[in-house]
């Protein structure tokens, strides 16, 4: 049986990290390209990748520019266009070796926003998208919730340098409370993976700076009427970061879009409810039409 492998690669000129699931005899289904959310990394998809491994799916998770181990973002340019270019390069790269010549783009939060923006481009080889609690719709006070979390404020207000272990512990506490409906149910391994990329006060300050820049870009980032591929929207009913009510705009503006709400689940269903997400992806793939021939 295949296993998840990790390696560095250049995608669209960006040095990044890939978590790859490439079965020796893959099923004739589109590759799943997995895009993580704000301040997260490809590691958020490890629980889901384990479920996909059992069903011989081809899947690739990437670190988006500015996060995980990927190259930093250009501080002098808008962020979403940088992510758009990276995502387009990743889609074309994976479609070239996909069993069907196309990919299904699955994205959580900021990654869901990027997936939807990619689907607006008819020239990209996308068989469908699965935005999971996508950013850019009903955002509520997402950034205030992050910046104002007591654990993050403890890091920012400390008059003395904090040891890396203390920073990781506080960041992990904020992650548990913001990402999940049941904070203590998150696997310790996933919390450790998240905090491995946000281990110092400098990391926290840099990522918060990226969030401040993103706020204005996420106010109205979509042209949903351009999306023509199948769309499955997934949301945790107990999401504190991005309200599920935002899904209604997608349902109203994208023909055939479907919504699946996961009970007792927060902002990161791929970590909190990976079995459910894997089942939804399986059903979505089965319902996806034959490969689309792009002009």
What's residue 25's pLDDT?
Answer: 80
pLDDT tens string 166-200: 999 999 999 999 999 999 889 999 999 999 999 89
Please give the Cα distance from 182 to 185 (Å, whole number). Answer: 5
Please give the Cα distance from 248 to 72 (Å, whole number). Answer: 34
pLDDT tens string 238-292: 998 998 988 999 999 999 999 999 999 999 999 999 999 999 999 998 666 544 3
Please give the Cα distance from 65 to 58 (Å, whole number). Answer: 23
pLDDT tens string 61-96: 999 999 999 999 999 999 999 999 999 999 999 999
DSSP symbol at 202: H
pLDDT tens string 93-122: 999 999 999 999 999 999 999 999 999 999
What's residue 37's pLDDT?
Answer: 97
| The residue to which tokens 């059992």 are assigned | 54
| Cα 202–chain centre separation | 23
Please give the Cα distance from 250 to 256 (Å, whole number). Answer: 10
């Amino acid at each position: 049986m295949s296993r998840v492998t990790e390696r560095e690669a250049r995608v669209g000129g960006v040095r990044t990290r890939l978590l790859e699931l490439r079965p020796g005899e893959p099923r004739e289904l589109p590759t799943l390209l997995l895009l993580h959310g704000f301040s997260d990394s490809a590691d958020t998809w490890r629980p889901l990748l384990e479920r996909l491994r059992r069903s011989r799916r081809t899947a690739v998770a990437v670190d988006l520019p500015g996060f995980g181990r990927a190259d930093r973002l250009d501080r002098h340019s808008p962020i979403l266009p940088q992510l758009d270019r990276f995502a387009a390069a990743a889609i074309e790269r994976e479609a070239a070796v996909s069993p069907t010549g196309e990919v299904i783009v699955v994205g959580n939060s900021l990654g869901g926003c990027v997936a939807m923006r990619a689907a607006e481009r008819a020239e990209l080889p996308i068989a469908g998208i699965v935005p999971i609690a996508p950013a850019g719709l009903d955002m509520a006070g997402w950034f205030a919730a992050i910046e104002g979390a007591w654990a993050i404020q403890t890091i920012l207000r400390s008059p003395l340098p904090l040891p890396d272990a203390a920073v990781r512990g506080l960041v992990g506490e904020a992650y548990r409370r913001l990402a999940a409906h049941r904070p203590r149910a998150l696997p310790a391994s996933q919390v450790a993976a998240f905090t491995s990329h946000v281990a110092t006060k400098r990391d926290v300050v840099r990522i918060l700076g990226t969030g401040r820049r993103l706020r204005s870009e996420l106010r109205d980032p979509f042209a949903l009427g351009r999306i023509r591929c199948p769309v499955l929207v997934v949301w945790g009913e107990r999401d504190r970061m991005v309200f599920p009510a935002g899904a209604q705009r997608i349902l109203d503006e994208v023909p055939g879009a479907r919504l699946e709400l996961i009970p007792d689940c927060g902002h990161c269903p791929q970590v909190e409810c990976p079995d459910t997400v894997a089942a939804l992806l399986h059903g979505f793939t089965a319902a996806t039409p034959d490969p689309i021939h792009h002009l």
